[in-house]
Amino acid sequence: MTPERKVYKRDVIIEVTAKLMSPLILLFGLYVMIGTGGTGGGFQGGTILATGFILYITVFGSEKGREKVPESVNAFFKSFGLFLYNGAGWICILFSLAAAQWLNMPAFWPVTDFVGIAGARSFMVAYMISVGIGLTVMASFVSQYFDLAWKEDDEMEGDEG
Amino acid sequence: MRPRGMKTLTSFSITIAILLTALSIYVVEDLPAFGDENSPVNKHVKLFSVDADGMAESLNAGVLPTEIKSRIEKMGFNKEENYPTLEEGNYKIEYIEKGTWLGGRLYTDSGWDVLIHEGEIFYNEPQQYYFIKEMNGNLTVYRYNWPVRVMERTEEETAIINAVGSGLADYRGYDTMGEETVILTGAIGVILLLRRRGRL
Amino acid sequence: MEWLIQHVLEKYNFWVAMLIIIISLTAVIVKENLLKKLIGLSIFQTAMFLWYVSLGDVGRDILTTWGLKTGTPSILWEEAAEKGYIYANPLPNVLMLTGIVVSAATTAVALAIVIRIYQKYGTIEEDEIIEKEMEFEREGGELKNASS
């Protein structure tokens, strides 16, 4: 059940391509999330951002990938994205005394003095909601990939757990 | 001998497969054709049709005749079930010609639009509800569907030109709020199953 | 001939989606390997989304002109009034985005469970797992290859 360790031969072309393409994929994901008119939205942009990190981890291995995305940074992004969106949503529910049918928070904000109600709603959707969703999705998928692809060496020795 | 890796198909599973196929054929009969513009999913639903006895003049004057109004309220769109009512001064009627471009779509028939003023805090303008069309001496009454309202009003109320994005994050924002919690719960579930002794 | 066109050719998107649903559902029931069942489940969920999103396409006319008019994606821009474009329906896309995310989360947790089963029993085939469970019950002791 435990196969022998195969020695992995390093290849120049694959390593150079991965190091070159990974930041460009991250830039493209940011454009899809909050680009011209917001044509993508939170879910799609967050998935493309996660793909940039997963390419690096697949080529270089889990240990080197862990140096780039350590555990504390991952946990921070996961909870910060949820905090942005759920914080805005629960304040809306409290202000309208739980009778809301839509997010009517901009009516109580000081931003509406400058831009008007329509501008405040687009500001809230594009910069608070989309960014919140994108960060949570990216950190979630990277953490799931680390867990599923970790290879344990001395695991089949009869430990009791 | 059966090939290795497949179970034997019992009679129970075969009957379930046949029942599901028959049910699906029965369901597909009722669905609209692919790409139909006036189907209930896309535009409006037909409610009923009455004889036009001269109601066209009262519609042109801006008053809804009592026969149509009582039948609409009998169908269930009344005050007890929290629908907007058709009282005096609450609605207004407009006549629209065939071929005009209004609110992101092309009107393929000419008829009367009934707009109701709801009086809510954030939606101060009258909303489209019913559509009345005259054909062969009969008046048919249709009721508009929700996507029509989103496509027409998404530029004025929220300055977002992406109709899918404004439908997800503004009109249906609370659904997406719960959805994000599901993603986080999935990541926590994988962590709890696979990390045993504090490694990683 | 009229019956054939009206009931079969006009609604070809529903027949294609139903075919994929039936094939993947039999894969979930019949196959014995656990990973192959998971693949069938993922294809089943994707076919359901195809069924629902294809309700919202607008402007395709099969009988008179062979699919020459389609609906553009529903992002409002100003040139659409001059050229006569028709927008597609945004509502099915909104409702199905939630479903896609649920499908992704379910697949991840299911894969984690399959890894734990492999660590405990040493195999993924279903009939060998059932045999080991019955042996364990009969003898009343611990499994031979236990490595939790």
For residue range C43-91, what is the model confidence (pLDDT) as tens digits? 999 999 999 998 888 765 544 445 556 677 788 877 776 666 778 888 8
- Cα dihedral: C48, B164, A87, B186 (round 10): 20
| Cβ atoms of C43 and C20 closer than 8 Å | yes
| Cβ atoms of A88 and A124 closer than 8 Å | yes
Q: Are residues B75 and B149 in the same domain?
A: yes
Chain C interface includes B182 (CB < 8 A): yes
Residue B188 belongs to domain spanning: 161-193
Q: Are residues B91 and B166 in the same domain?
A: no
Q: Are residues B149 and B123 in the same domain?
A: yes
Chain A interface includes B158 (CB < 8 A): yes
Query: Tokens 């919140």 map to which residue?
Result: A132
Structural domain contains residue B3 = no
In degrees, to the nearest 5, what angle opens at C-alpha C7 toward C-alphas C3 and C8? Answer: 110
Q: Are residues B182 and B131 in the same domain?
A: no
Cα of C62 to nearest chain A Cα, Å: 30
DSSP string, B115-168: EE----SS--S-EEEEEEEEETTEEEEEEE-HHHHHHHHHHHHS---BHHHHII
pTM of the entire predicted model: 0.82
C145 has a pLDDT exceeding 60 = no
How many domains would you assign to chain B? Answer: 2
| Residue A58 CA: distances (Å) to CA of A23, A51, A63, A86, C11 | 15, 10, 11, 33, 43
Task: Output the six-digit token pair for B111.
Answer: 């008829």
Q: What is the mean pLDDT of each run of 10 residues along chain A (161 residues)?
A: 68 94 95 83 92 93 89 93 89 72 64 76 83 94 91 50 38
**What's the pLDDT tens digit per position in B157-185?**
778 888 888 888 888 888 899 999 999 99
Q: Are residues B151 and B68 in the same domain?
A: yes
Task: Output the six-digit token pair for C11.
Answer: 């609604």
| Cβ atoms of B50 and B148 closer than 8 Å | no
Structural domain contains residue B6 = no
Task: Output the six-digit token pair for A79.
Answer: 């909870």
Q: Are residues B95 and B175 in the same domain?
A: no
**What's the pLDDT tens digit per position in B89-113?**
677 777 777 767 676 666 777 777 7
Residue A96 burial by Cβ neighbours in a 10 Å radius (0-12, 13-18, 19+): middle
Cα of A22 to nearest chain C Cα, Å: 23
- Residues of chain A with C-beta less than 8 angstroms from the C-beta of B189: none
Structural domain contains residue B10 = no
| Cβ atoms of C140 and A149 closer than 8 Å | no
Compare CB distances from C111 to A39, A148, A159 and report the shortest one's residue.
A148
Q: Which residues lie below 8 Å from residue B129, measured CB to CB, with a gap of 6+?
A: B84, B114, B115, B116, B143, B144
Q: Are residues B145 and B189 in the same domain?
A: no
Chain A interface includes B183 (CB < 8 A): yes
Q: Domains for chain C: give ranges and CATH numbers.
A: 2-56+90-139 (1.10.287.3510)
**Predicted local confidence at residue C142, as pLDDT:** 60
